[in-house]
Amino acid sequence: MGEFRMPSLGADMAAGTLTRWDVKPGDHVNSGDTIGVVETDKANVEIEVFESGIVDRLIVQPGAKVPVGTPLALIRGEAEAPAKAPALVRASPMARRLAREYRLDLATIAGSGPHGVVERADVERVAKQAEVRPGPAAPVPPAAPAPQPPAPQPSEGAGMRRAIAAAMTRSNREIPHYYLETHIDFSNAQRALETINLRRSVKERLLPAALLFKAVATALAEVPELNGYWIDDEPHQSERINVGMAIALRQGGLVIPAIHDADAKSLDEIMEAMRDLITRARSGSMRSSDLVDSTITVTNLGDLGVESVYGIIYPPQLALVGFGKIVERPWAENGMIGIRPILSATLAADHRATDGHRGARFLSALERYILQVQPG
């Protein structure tokens, strides 16, 4: 029997409101199906189930605001009989605290204490095997969700503003940023895109942004020290490269869904992921898996005519890449001056995790990709 729990849809999310169930007890669900909608301070998010089975029981009713980690529903495997009550896990207070900090499910941990009691050592062993660490701002769910006092109705978007304020304040307070900027000759890339797009219908055309995301992912594969998180006074490199795309919303505020495994995706696949994410972000139907695991953030303000952007890292990530407008500039090369489309690329990185040298290597890898991109 699996517990489906309130997911954490961002480092700063402590609780969410379940607004709708799309399933009822007895329904069959497959891994990846969306089964309901959760409203966070940032957006309405369709939540996905991660195991296949049959919905046994809906624990939380629509309208309830519950802390991250609270069981929302029970999903049983096809073979399992309908559940009675969830079994009581015998665990020491210390083990309970640790499991909460590591975000491990006590029910999945074998206890080695008397009568199978789960002890500290059991939790630590599992945590070590799973290589999990206490969450960055681990929200501690209270034993019983406290009833929410009636709050004054905030204006639309105020919650998101607060969430952004909290994340950015934390970033500026905790992360010692260093900034690097470089200017990249975009003429080869522009030609490559033109060649590709010439053969395509308007709907299928590649935008420069797709190429920029691909460039970031490729450069990260070369300089992985910038890809991941700073947790517990230590950098943690991520094996996957999930490039977060900062998307401004029409009503104000922004969301950062991830293009998963961008290094392994083709330009077309990245373009498709971008279109999908932008459409869904603007219609307010993000999924939980879009929002939880970006390993770096890219902010692209070129559309708005800004030449350079010096961003603030989205904690606990290690870096943020900013792209400005591609502008025609006089450009000297091999003793000749020409007029070229020039792109400004900036890197804001966490100085605790890396130094300027590493950052410079990243920007130079990024430049190399853009200079060498092939039309097809």
* Chain residues in the site for other proteins (CB under 8 A): 92-97, 112-114, 119-121
CA 268 – CA 204 distance, rounded (Å) = 9
Least distance to other proteins, CB of residue 120, Å: 4
Q: In the complex with other proteins, which residue's Cβ is closer, 92 or 237? A: 92
Nearest distance in Å: CB 141, other proteins: 14
- Report the DSSP beta bridge partners of residue 299: 322
- Contact between residue 295 and residue 336 where contact means Cβ atoms under 8 Å apart: no
DSSP 23-36: --TT-EE-TT-EEE
| Shortest distance (Å) from residue 68 CB to other proteins | 19
- As measured in angstroms, the least distance from the Cβ of 114 to other proteins is 7
By beta-carbon proximity to other proteins, the closer residue of 112 and 266 is 112
Distance CA 262, CA 269 (A): 9
Nearer to other proteins, 67 or 315 (CB): 67
Please state, in angstroms and rounded to a whole number, the distance separating the CA atoms of residues 360 and 279. Answer: 34
Looking at residue 263, the DSSP 8-state letter turns out to be G
How many Cβ atoms are within 10 Å of 210's Cβ, its own excluded?
Answer: 24
Q: What is the sign of the dihedral through the CA atoms of 136, 36, 61 and 78?
A: negative
Nearer to other proteins, 54 or 89 (CB): 89
Closest CB to other proteins among 93 and 149?
A: 93
Q: Min. distance of Cβ 135 from other proteins in angstroms?
A: 17
Give CA–CA dist 201/269, Å, rounded: 16
- 221: part of which helix (H) or strand (E)? helix 208-222
Nearer to other proteins, 63 or 93 (CB): 93
Q: How far is the CB of 117 from other proteins (least distance, A)?
A: 8
Spatial CA neighbour of 343 closest among 363, 326, 319: 326
Closest approach, Cβ 73 to other proteins, in A, equals 28
In whole angstroms, what is the distance from residue 242 CA to residue 296 CA? 7
Instruction: For other proteins, give the closer residue by CB, 140 or 339.
Output: 140
Helix (H) or strand (E) holding 367: helix 356-372
β-sheet bridge partners, residue 287: 46
Looking at beta carbons only, is 93 or 147 nearer to other proteins?
A: 93
Least distance in angstroms from the C-beta of 8 to other proteins? 22
Q: How far is the CB of 96 from other proteins (least distance, A)?
A: 7
- Residue 90 or residue 329: which is nearer to other proteins going by CB? 90
On whether the CB atoms of residues 48 and 287 are closer than 8 A, the answer is yes
CB under 8 Å to 56, separation ≥6 — which residues? 1, 25, 73, 74, 75, 76, 82, 83
Residue 330's DSSP bridge partners are 339
